[in-house]
Amino acid sequence: MLAIIGGSGLTQLSTLEITHREVVRTPYGEPSGALTFGELSCTPVVFLARHGYGHTIPPHQVNYRANLWALKQVKASAVVSVASVGGIRTDFAPGTLVIPHQIIDYTWGRKSTFFEGAEESVRHIDFTEPYDAKLRQRLLAAAAAAGEHVFDGGVYAATQGPRLETAAEINRLERDGADLVGMTGMPEAALARELELPYAALSVVANYAAGRSASEHAIQFDSIELVLQEAMIRVRCVLEHLCKA
């Protein structure tokens, strides 16, 4: 069963034929909300809104451990993350879809491992390639089948939020090699790896990152909403073809 975690702009899957919802308890507290079960293109799917179904949970307060644990508990076989990002690269314009291949983590203070505490021994995971290669290829194939152009690869910078970055911070991220900037990519990807859940991301560029727009000095939030509304139609199409494969 495929799990889909929706971020800003995807608090529900309108094409999901819902069968039931389930509240899942975890040793790590409450997930962002009840899990929504159903079928997408005749394939079993479980959906979770990362920020809650009313979009009330900021990025730094998402209970990433509870979310991933709950999905593992209900027998999810893989996780696709959908999230909005800012485009640092000039060709990552608003509305662009990207399947990133690498992560740089700038977050702090988040619960980032299941292996801690007096009763847990320290364990290390190989995180050389943070996204599952086979799941990434499935996403790329689904996008091609849907006729949707996506960029294959990009370095995702995970920042703390909830505020957006300064222009100087974006300059720093670019010097570090980042192509995209978002607030929810970590520790989500690492926790999925700890649980041995194949994990990949479909990033939606909602806006140019700070200081990257040629026409505006400040980010216009009204235009972000319009971009996300259009882009999420394409995202749903890609997900439907992913489930058909």
Q: Tell which CATH classification among 3.40.50.1580, 3.40.50.720, 3.40.630.30, 3.40.50.740 matches the domain 2-244.
A: 3.40.50.1580
CA distance 11 to 79: 16
Residue of higher predicted confidence among 136 and 244: 136
Instruction: Give tens-digit pLDDT for 87-123.
Output: 999 999 999 999 999 999 999 999 999 988 777 778 8
pTM of the model: 0.93
Mean pLDDT of 15-28: 91
Q: Would you say 164 and 219 are in contact if contact means Cβ atoms under 8 Å apart?
A: yes
Instruction: Give tens-digit pLDDT for 201-212.
Output: 999 999 999 988
224 falls in which pLDDT band (50, 70, 90)? confident
Specify the residue for token string 């190989």.
Answer: 126
Q: Residue 172, annotated ligand binder? A: no
Alpha helices in 3-55 (DSSP H): none
Joined tokens for residue 10: 């995807």
Q: Would you say 146 and 237 are in contact if contact means Cβ atoms under 8 Å apart?
A: yes
Q: Residue 183, annotated ligand binder? A: yes
Q: Residue 156, annotated ligand binder? A: no
Residue 226 has pLDDT above 60, yes or no: yes
Mean pLDDT of 64-80: 97
Q: What pLDDT is stored for residue 53 in this prediction?
A: 86
Q: Residue 90, annotated ligand binder? A: no
Q: Residue 28, annotated ligand binder? A: no
Q: Residue 184, annotated ligand binder? A: yes
